[in-house]
Amino acid sequence: MDITPYLEKVCQTPHAIKLNLKLVSVGEQAVTLTLPYSKEIVGDSINNYIHGGAVSTAIDTACGAAILQAQSNLRAMATLDLRIDHVRPADSGVDINVYADCYHLTHTIAFVRASAYTDDVKAPIATAVGTFMRSNKQFPIT
């Protein structure tokens, strides 16, 4: 399935550009994006582990993209809540992938779950569940 222009938008916000987030694949209601390793997102300058906050950002962004994918339009949304379990630290120097799945949509709420991993989606470094409010407005295309 192709990455649609509106889906590309989630990786083109100033902060997504800062972290260099890249969409790598999309499914019907799911997406995978990559958070490339960089010195700028390190949380511990001795061991060079990636900061949990950067992982949270990648997860939040992937969840938003999964919702866009599930609803097939640019309807805006806002994170209501996000719960993240940091299962284990990622090895230093390794890119992180996030798979996010929007498994249910109501008129008002989108339900998502996500998993962050390095090599194997079945051996996550972090897992997350969240809910998003769905807006009545569209994201403006600029």
Partner 1 sequence: MSLVEKINDIKLHHDYEAIVELIPYAQTIGVETSMVGESIVSSLRFMESNIGNPAIPALHGGVIAGFMENAALLHLIWEIELVNIPKIIDVSIDYLRPGQPSTTYSKCDTIRLGSRVALCNIIAWQEDITKPIAQARGHFLLSENRPI
Query: Quick one: 71 or 79, whose CB is closer to partner 1?
Result: 79
Q: Which residues pair with 97 in a beta bridge?
A: 34, 117
In the numeric block, which tokens belong to residue 118?
């390095």
Site string for partner 1, 53-82 (x = CB under 8 A): xx-xxxxxx--------------x-xxxxx
135 Cβ contact list (under 8 Å, min separation 6): 75, 76, 77, 78
Stretch that binds partner 1, among 25-33, 48-56, 101-109, 113-121 (CB under 8 A): 48-56
CB 107 within 8 A of CB 78: no
Q: Pick from 90, 91, 95, 81: which is nearest to 128 by CA?
A: 81
Binding segment toward partner 1, per CB under 8 A, in 22-30, 34-42, 104-112, 116-124:
34-42
Residue ranges binding partner 1 (CB under 8 A): 13-18, 39-47, 50-54, 56-61, 76, 78-86, 89, 139-140, 142
